[in-house]
Structure formats: C-alpha cells, structure tokens
Amino acid sequence: MSEPAAEIAHQFADAGQQRDAATFGMWIFLCTEVLLFGALFLGYTVYRLQNPEAFDEAAAHTLIVAGSINTAILLVSSFCVAVAVHLAEQGDRLRVTLLLCTAALLGALFLAVKAYEYNHKIHEGFFPGHSFHFAGADSRGVEMFFVLYFTMTGLHALHVAIGVAVLTGYGVAVLLAQRPARLTTAVDLAGLYWHFVDIVWVFLFPLFYLVGRAP
C-alpha cells in the first residue's frame, strides 16, 4: 500500500484492471475459506446425526446470553464496515477511520466475551480430552460436541483476531496516508473479509447455542 495513487503495479495495464484483479482474488480466497470451514460443518453434521440427544443436551450448557451478545456485536461491526466501505469511495477519511476502528473494537469485544465463555467452559470441565468430565449418560457425544465447539469457534476466533488487526491497520492507514484513494480497494477487501467472518458466526451461533433449546 506504499505506492502513490497514480502508480499502478507494473503487471497491470490500468487501475481498473488492478482493482478488478484484487477484488476477484479476494472472492477466490473467500471460496477457499468456505471450504476450510465446510469440512468442519460436515464433521458437525455427521456427529450430530450420530448423537442427536447428546448434542441437544450439550448445547444447553453453552452460554446463550454471551452468544447472543456476540452475535449482536458482530452484526453491528459488520454494519460499521459496510458504511465505511461506502464512505471510503466518497473520500470521507475521518469517518472511515472512526468506523473501521469501531468495528475493530467490537471485534476485540467479541473476543473478550469469547474468552470469558471459554474460561467458563474449562472451569465446568467441558474442555475435551483427559480433563473432560460430564455426569450425564452420553458423555462421549457431549465431549464430541465440545470438540467441535472449541475447534470451530476457535478457528472462527482466529479469523476475528486477524480481522481486528486488519481493520485497525487500515483504519489508521486511511487517516495517515498521503493518498487515501489508493486505499479504497483495500478497505473494500477488508470489508469483504469481515462480512465473511460475520457470516460464519451466523451459522455457528444456531448450531452451538440454539439447537435443542426450542420449548
């Protein structure tokens, strides 16, 4: 991002081609991310079909309030990013920075809530492996639920952490850059990534918090 606005990387003919290539590359990257999470969703499907009661029972032990708060946090942060992308095209630097940093802050808050939840689970003995203990009948199925819970939300949290760093970085860069127009594409791509992270959570939330809670 150090090149001045007028400069186009040598392999491209014009700015339009450069922007198209970057955007298209981001979409392809997100496709690989879908497949990365997809394998885990397949694992969830298989083990839920094998242990339907255990999964319902285990899901009752997740913290639905914390999960719901986190869902709200991510949706609001995604909204901030969407507005930031819109304003970046109009060159409104101050607001773009504010919105990106707000989104990053919300992402950090999400991670804090998640850390609280993990801590709570570990204290209750739900961390899979040798220290796992569960008094109910089907402890194997419950343990599998928590293997998936920690793996999938952990991988998602890693993506959130990367997103927080990226959003903060671009938030600061937009404010300080000599030629912020060059960053419009970057903000756009960071936004795509953040929406993807958000969407993954939209699927994780019902699978780990809402199943089996219906009256």
Partner 1 sequence: MNPAISQAPLQPLASEPDYLRSAQTLGSWLLTTDHKRIGILYMISITLLFFIGGVAAALLRLELASPAGDLVASATYNKLFTIHGVIMVWFFLIPSVPTVLGNFLLPLMIGARDVAFPRLNLASWYIFMFGACFTVFAIVAGGVDTGWTFYTPYSSTYANGAVIAMAAGVFITGFASIATGLNFIVTIHKMRAPGLTWFRLPLFVWTLYTTSLILVLATPVLAITLFLMALERLFGVGIFDPALGGDPILFQHLFWFYSHPAVYIMILPGMGVTSEIIACFARKRIFGYRFVAYASIAIAVLGFLVWGHHMFVSGQSVYAGAVFSLLSFLVAVPSAIKVFNWTATLYKGSITFDTPMLYALGFIGLFTVGGLTGLFVAALAVDVHLTDTYFVIAHFHYVMVGGMVMAYLGGIHFWWPKISGRLYPEFPARISALTIFAGFNLTFFPQFVLGMLGMPRRYHVYPDEFQLLNVLSSAGASILAVGYILPLAYLLWSLRYGKRAPANPWRATGLEWTTPSPPPTHNFAVTPTVNEPPYAYETLDEPSRDYV
138, 53 Cβ separation under 8 angstroms: yes
Apex 187 CA angle, 39 and 183, nearest 5: 135
**What distance in Å separates the CA atoms of residue 143 and residue 27, rounded to the nearest whole number?**
35
Burial of 54 (0-12, 13-18, 19+ CB in 10 A): buried
Q: What is the DSSP string of 4-39?
A: -TT---TT-SSHHHHHHHHHHHHHHHHHHHHHHHHH
Least Å from the CB of residue 94 to partner 1: 31
Of the candidates 69, 93, 61, 50, which has an alpha carbon nearest to the alpha carbon of residue 181? 93
> Is 123 among the residues that bind partner 1 (CB under 8 A)?
no
Give the interface segment with partner 1, choosing from 87-95, 107-115, 123-131, 172-180 (CB under 8 A).
123-131
Question: Residue 189 — φ and ψ, nearest 5°?
Answer: -70, -40
> Is 32 among the residues that bind partner 1 (CB under 8 A)?
yes
**What distance in Å separates the CA atoms of residue 143 and residue 128, rounded to the nearest whole number?**
6
**What distance in Å separates the CA atoms of residue 191 and residue 48, rounded to the nearest whole number?**
33
With respect to partner 1, which residue has the nearer C-beta, 31 or 75?
31
Give the interface segment with partner 1, choosing from 83-91, 144-152, 175-183, 197-205 (CB under 8 A).
144-152
Give the interface segment with partner 1, choosing from 66-74, 88-96, 122-130, 162-170 (CB under 8 A).
122-130
Least Å from the CB of residue 72 to partner 1: 28
With respect to partner 1, which residue has the nearer C-beta, 58 or 99?
58
> Is 21 among the residues that bind partner 1 (CB under 8 A)?
yes
> Is 56 among the residues that bind partner 1 (CB under 8 A)?
no
> Is 57 among the residues that bind partner 1 (CB under 8 A)?
no
Give contact residues for partner 1 (rule: CB under 8 A): 9-13, 17, 20-21, 24-25, 28-29, 31-33, 35-36, 38-40, 42-43, 46-47, 50-51, 128-130, 140-141, 143-144, 147, 151
